[in-house]
């Protein structure tokens, strides 16, 4: 702190260069923090600890191929099984194509047993009304607030995959620990089965809840072995594996994001190294004068290093501030299109990573030119006077 004012005055000797460098660093750190946080959010979605004892059973060939509903009877008889539910992605539109949210046709009774970690709070009276009403549906609280729905409202859906446009009666609103889990709608599978002739006795997938996570590998192997010779063979996998495969349909996001991050880090190193090299080279004579006044080489090296570190810190903190502000916009904006981002935030680990990397690059880009100038003989530095 003894030389802080000196460091600060030297850093802002060229205000334009310093401000432009800080802005570049801020934008770079903002990009890294945002992309890495999106990757962490999607990774958390595909690695849900609450899904450790849930299994998704689908057709072995493709997600679009159907399975007979009768498969549920055999699966339900297995000793490790706690519950089985037929589940079909409906993909309906509410009023406008931009109003995207997950909506499913499902066996109504097992829903809260299969997804009891996600559906943590609900009204028993509303649940009974939902079970009694063939046209009934339940939605998450966040989804209901988004569209201003209340129990008793009629919600029209326009079918995109299936040629029906159901008008659903909102019979219940459930709550969850995560906003992401409150983005879904469930309605009676019978409504889809009766409205679409080719879905009679068929479904896209079964969701199975095992009694214990240790039973999952054994149960997966047994289900697929039992139906391996059937006309419609199955592919069973953990819920996390199923969600990961679904996300991979959007491309290898991890590789893309890591590649962008690497390119940005290289750019940061080049720009910060060039900035500090120019700043230190311009002050060769000044450094020699300070050393002639009694400053040691170590003191001058510390002062020059402090300038580089402070510059990197200013850029890094500014970038993290921008990322934190943008997180709210992504939750309310992109979260309406991609419901998995409704819980988007900048994790502490990502913030620390950005700060450590920025500081490390600041030190690396400053040390070499600073070391060269302080090792230069004082007489050579004073010749320019």
pLDDT, one tens digit per residue, over 291-310 is: 777 777 787 777 788 888 88
Residue segments in the chain with a per-residue pLDDT below the cut of 70: 1-2, 42-51, 244-254, 331-343, 379-385
State residue 343's pLDDT score. Answer: 66
Q: Is residue 16 in some structural domain?
A: yes
Q: Is residue 359 in some structural domain?
A: yes
- How many C-beta atoms surround the C-beta of residue 247 within 10 A? 17
State residue 49's pLDDT score. Answer: 61
State residue 369's pLDDT score. Answer: 80
State residue 103's pLDDT score. Answer: 92
Q: Is residue 170 in some structural domain?
A: yes
State residue 336's pLDDT score. Answer: 54
State residue 295's pLDDT score. Answer: 76
357-377 pLDDT, tens digit per residue, is 888 888 888 887 877 877 777
Distance in angstroms (rounded) separating the CA atoms of residues 182 and 112:
13
State residue 2's pLDDT score. Answer: 65
Domain residue limits at 36: 4-46+252-382
Q: Angle at which helices 297-332 and 15-46 pack, to 10 degrees?
A: 50
User: pTM value?
Assistant: 0.69
Distance in angstroms (rounded) separating the CA atoms of residues 75 and 83:
9
Same structural domain for residues 201 and 322? no
How many domains is the chain built from? Answer: 2
R_g (Cα) of the chain, nearest Å: 30
State residue 48's pLDDT score. Answer: 63
Same structural domain for residues 218 and 300? no
Cα 193 versus chain centre, distance: 34
């Amino acid at each position: 702190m003894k030389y802080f004012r000196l460091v600060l005055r030297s850093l802002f000797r060229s205000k334009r260069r310093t401000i432009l460098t800080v802005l570049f660093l801020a934008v770079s750190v903002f990009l890294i923090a945002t992309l890495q946080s999106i990757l962490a959010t999607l990774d958390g979605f595909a690695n849900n600890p609450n899904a450790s004892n849930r299994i998704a059973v689908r057709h072995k060939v493709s997600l679009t191929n159907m399975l007979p509903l009768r498969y549920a009877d055999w699966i339900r008889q297995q000793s490790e099984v706690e519950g089985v539910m037929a589940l079909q992605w409906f993909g309906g539109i509410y009023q406008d194509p931009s109003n995207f949210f997950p909506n499913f046709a499902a066996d109504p009774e097992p829903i809260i047993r299969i997804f009891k970690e996600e559906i943590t709070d609900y009204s028993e009276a509303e649940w009974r009304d939902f079970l009694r009403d063939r046209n009934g549906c339940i939605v998450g609280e966040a989804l209901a607030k988004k569209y201003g729905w209340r129990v008793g409202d009629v919600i029209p859906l326009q079918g995109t995959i299936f040629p029906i446009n159901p008008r659903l009666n909102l019979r219940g609103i459930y709550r969850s620990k995560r906003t992401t889990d409150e983005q879904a709608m469930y309605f009676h599978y019978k409504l889809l089965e009766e409205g679409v002739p080719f879905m009679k006795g068929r479904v896209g997938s079964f969701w199975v809840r095992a009694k214990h996570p240790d039973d999952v590998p054994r149960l997966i192997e047994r289900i697929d072995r039992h139906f391996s010779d059937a006309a419609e063979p199955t592919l069973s996998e953990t819920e996390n594996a199923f969600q990961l495969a679904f996300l991979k349909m959007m491309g290898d996001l991890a590789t893309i994001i890591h590649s962008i991050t690497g390119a940005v880090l290289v750019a940061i190193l080049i720009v910060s190294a060039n900035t500090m090299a120019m700043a230190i080279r311009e002050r060769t004579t000044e450094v020699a004068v300070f050393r002639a006044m009694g400053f040691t080489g170590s003191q001058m090296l510390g002062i020059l290093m402090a300038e580089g570190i402070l510059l990197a810190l200013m850029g890094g903190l500014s970038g993290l501030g921008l990322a934190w502000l943008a997180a709210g916009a992504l939750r309310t904006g992109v979260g309406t299109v991609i419901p998995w981002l409704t819980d988007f935030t900048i994790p502490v680990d990502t913030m620390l990573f950005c700060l450590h990397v920025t500081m490390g690059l600041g030190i690396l880009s400053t040390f070499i030119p600073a070391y060269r100038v302080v090792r230069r003989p004082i007489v050579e530095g004073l010749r320019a006077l």
